[in-house]
Structure 1
Amino acid sequence: MQWIKNNVSLRVNGHTNISLISAFEYTDQIAIHITSENLFGEKVYCHYYDAMRKLLQTPFESRVFPESVIYCLPRPGTKFVSLSRNQQDEPDYPVPLIDRTMQEPVHYFSVCVAPFFGTEPKWLMISEFVEYYKLQGATHFFFYVVNLSNYDMKQLNDYVRTGDAEVTIIYNRFDRAEYGWQRNIIQNCLLRSRNFSYWTAFVDIDERLKMTLFNGTVVDYLKQVKDPLIGSLQFSQTWLMKTETQPGRYVNDEETVKWMPTQRYRNTSSVGPNGHTSKCIVRSNTVGAMFVHFPFVFYPNYKRYEMDPREGVVRHYRDLNLGNWGKTWLKDVEKFGPFQNTTMDPVTSNKLIDAVVKRVNYVYEKS
């Protein structure tokens, strides 16, 4: 394949040990996602199992592409799959196939969220994130957890309970830094959203895609995209200076509103140039391999559309202390132009406050 020859998505990192995360069944192929990030282009073997986890037929030879993904031919009766480096090796523990054979997407607009890691409390950020994108028309959320406290998981699990979200727990079997999972998980969410959602945003928990002069929500904008060859919409960044760590526990409604990032932080940078840490909404069926900020490659004829900042931008509530971002990158952002105080529009802001207060109160307030 030409994409392998061109080293598309190549990342010499991680471990060569095969450890499966998920597997997805499409009408014409099976995609298996693994934790390894340095088996690019390597030969591997797909193993097939029935519902009783009994091996079916002989293994199928394939190669790793994109990084961390293996495509296998489908075989009748397959319910579980696994992999091995050599045909005669014992395969890794098999994982169940996740059905993605639907002819029509279940959701129109979903959101893939970068993996949770680190120690900062996230219960309030989770609620504000979900409620904001629900106001923008999103109906499903894909979350990934590398490290999250039990207190924060309570909020996340409540969205699972009500059918808003699904959560994949990432077990780090190897010596990998927590922050090193994002590029790997991007591929998983691309596969997970394919056929399942027509449009899917790929964003971090501190990012809000926002329409600017366009009069409507994100979904309103998506519905007026008429070119069938557009595979992604690229949003340029603005950065809002987040200067504090989020509170560790729910106290009351007033404190909730006080600490909501959209209500607390206003110091906003000018818009960054096209492609500078931009984020995107993609049609997963059109993308062959995904990067954190944009698709690496599209299937033939598909293309990306660069959003004019007058149409929409990313409002990124960027923690200045996380990863020494303020010391390392702020000086570059300052070159893009002056800072100014900005706020969310009052109608959306009030709806968001009401939704977040109601949800966190439901989860954490003792009745």
Structure 2
Amino acid sequence: MDDEMMRRPNRRKLLILISVVFFTWLLYWNRSGLTSDSEDSWIVEGHGQSRIVPRKCVVPEWNTKNTNSIPHAAEFGHWRRQYLGGHNDMLDAESRLLSAFVYPDQISIVTTAFHTYTKEVTCLYFDCNQREIPKSRYKSYVMPLTVVSCARRAGAEFVSLKWNEDDDEEIIEDPIPLINRVYEQPAHELSVCVGPLYGDESKWLEIIEYVEHYRLMGTTMFYFTIFNMNEYDRRIIDDYERMGLAESTKYIMEYVKLGWMFHLIQTHECHYRSRFHSKWVINMDIDERLVYNGPNNFIHFMRSIPPSFSEISIASNRVLKFEDFPAKFKNEQQLLKDMTFLKYNQTTETSWYNLKGIIRPEKVALLFYHWSVRQLDDTKIMSVPKRFAYIRHYRSVDENKLNSNWRTFYNGGLTETRLEENFEKRLSSAVMKRVKYVYDRRMIRCEEIAPATFKRFERRLLDCAFKNESQILY
């Protein structure tokens, strides 16, 4: 009995000691965890006090995959040794990270520097707090052109590149976010890679005609690349993005203006942007319009293509364009006169000299402008008969424009051609509707503003004019 009574105080002391040690450890662990997370934490305030809530990365199920290699590594390695997939005549530039995409089986990072082609590089992976994921680096190389293929890493939300792994001073460009392209099925059945927009000519009407033309053919996504663009032209691309019909890539480079030779960067960036996002991609410049004369409609035709094909080649003709597009919208009557497909119809014969391609992005390895030069998994290319489909290329004859001397070398004849009548009417209506929605806007009239507002704010701050005034007050 006495022994039992003596054990009880000892047991109580042991429990107290264990509790003290446990809570001391718990306090230390919380403080050390708070210190490590304090840089990426939220301050939550309320009721006269504040508390720090550590920010944690939530990794979705699709982003839990790790890989140790990239698909078709042997083929790309062989092409790299052949120096296939680059271009020696391009301007050098600072190496910048342009965009990055995560696919089911790999990650692709698109850069802006041609001089890095075939160079070795290390892929770096970062979590949602832009902290590098430990022991995640992957060695790769630039191929094709300016693209780096990397293995996947679980939890990676940002990526970057390191060009010299042996350099003691680890200079790493700021990470850029990964764009999710991990889809079981493509989000879009038919999309368009829009050729680069460059030069001083206004683009707003040309963009609308282009987009509305291809929308009538069944496309649901447009990938734009923006080099140099004024605010008025940019407004229509912003509107298509608002509608979920477009994505745009913006170039920030040391060149004041980018010329047509940067077309290859646009081609490859759009190619990788559309992978697994679109099943088929029409690869056309802004002045090129696909015309389909086959049975049923174009979408029905594309659905009939066997899965063993990775590209559809289409011949083209040229329609002579004599004037620039208008700088701004004036009125409906003038717009009908300015629509390219109504205004111009002098057409060359259709030929395969300037063929264009419709591509399955995940089945094509290398591109050269509008067509592929290497395919994957032994896929094939189909040429569509001219009577079924062709490209109307509205080509300028202005001597100050790119390759405007093409007529000097052309010996063929010209014929009068137009779009199919019903398609032309639907296109005219669609263009008119979109132009008026985006550009036919007026300022608020002063009589539409509550009179009490004028008592509180000066009229110049309200930025309005009365209906009978001829000009706006500033």
**Unpaired runs of at least 5, structure 2:** 1-76, 443-474
Query: After the TM superposition, which of the residue ranges 41-50 and 177-186 deviates more from structure 2?
Result: 177-186
Letter in 2 for 1:303: K
1:75 paired with 2:150, answer: no
1:242-285, CA deviations, whole angstroms, 9 ceiling, x for partnerless residues? Answer: 0101101101112112111111110000112x3x2211110101
Q: Identify the match of residue 376 of structure 2 among 276, 285, 299.
A: 299
Q: Distance in 2 between matches of 1:166 and 1:303?
A: 29
Asked if 1:177 corresponds to 2:275, the answer is: no
Give the whole-Å Cα distance in 2 for the aligned partners of 1:324 and 1:63: 34
Q: Give runs of aligned pairs for residues 20-31 of structure 1, distance below 5 A.
A: 20-31=97-108
Q: Would the alpha carbon gap of residues 95 and 191 (structure 1) be closer, same or farther in structure 2, given more than 3 Å must change?
A: same
User: Where does residue 74 of structure 2 map in the other structure?
Assistant: none
Letter in 1 for 2:334: E
Larger deviation, residues 35-44 vs 94-103: 35-44
Q: Highest relative contact order (Cα 8 Å, sep 6+), 1 or 2?
A: 1
1:360 matches 2:435:
yes
Partner of 2:129: 52
* RMSD, aligned CA: 1.5
Determine what percentage of the aligned residue pairs are the same residue: 30
C-alpha distance in structure 2 between counterparts of 1:324 and 1:364, whole Å: 29
User: What amino acid is the match of 1:355?
Assistant: A
Query: In the alignment, does 2:221 pair up with 1:221?
Result: no
Q: What is the alpha-carbon distance in structure 2 between the residues aligned to residue 318 and residue 66 of structure 1?
A: 30
Match of 2:230 in 1: 149
Is 1:286 the counterpart of 2:363? The answer is yes
> More strand per residue: 1 or 2?
1
d(CA) in 1 for partners of 2:296 and 2:115? 43
Question: Are positions 1:330 and 2:410 aligned together?
Answer: no
CA shift, 1:180, in A, is: 2.5
Distance change in 2, residues 1:201/1:66 (3 Å):
same
Distance in 2 (alpha carbons) for counterparts of 1:217 and 1:130: 18
Question: Aligned residue for 2:207?
Answer: 126
Q: Quick check: 1:237 aligned with 2:316?
A: yes
2:421 aligned with 1:340:
no
* Alignment correspondent of 2:219: 138
Q: Secondary structure at the match of 1:74?
A: coil
- Tell me if structure 2 keeps the 8 A contact 1:18–1:84: no
TM-score by length of 1: 0.94
Shift in Å at residue 140 of structure 1? 0.6
Aligned residue pairs, count: 360
**Which of residues 39, 51, 56 is equivalent to 2:116?**
39
Aligned-partner SS, 2:192: strand
Matched AA of 1:279: K
* Contact 1:8-1:296 at 8 Å conserved across structures: no
**Unmatched segments (≥5 aa) in structure 1:** none
Separation (CA, whole Å) in 2 of partners of 1:305 and 1:331:
32
Aligned equivalent of 1:261: 340
1:16 CA displacement: 5.9
State the distance in 1 between where 2:93 and 2:213 align. 39
Residue 8 of structure 1, CA deviation? 2.0
Secondary structure of the residue aligned to 1:251 is: coil
Is residue 109–residue 197 contact of structure 1 (8 Å, CA) maintained in 2?
Answer: yes
AA aligned to 1:201 is I
Higher alpha-carbon Rg: 2
Secondary structure of the corresponding residue to residue 394 of structure 2: strand
Alignment-mate amino acid for residue 315 of structure 1: R
Deviation at 1:148, TM superposition (A): 1.0
SS in 1 for 2:401: helix
More helix by share: 2
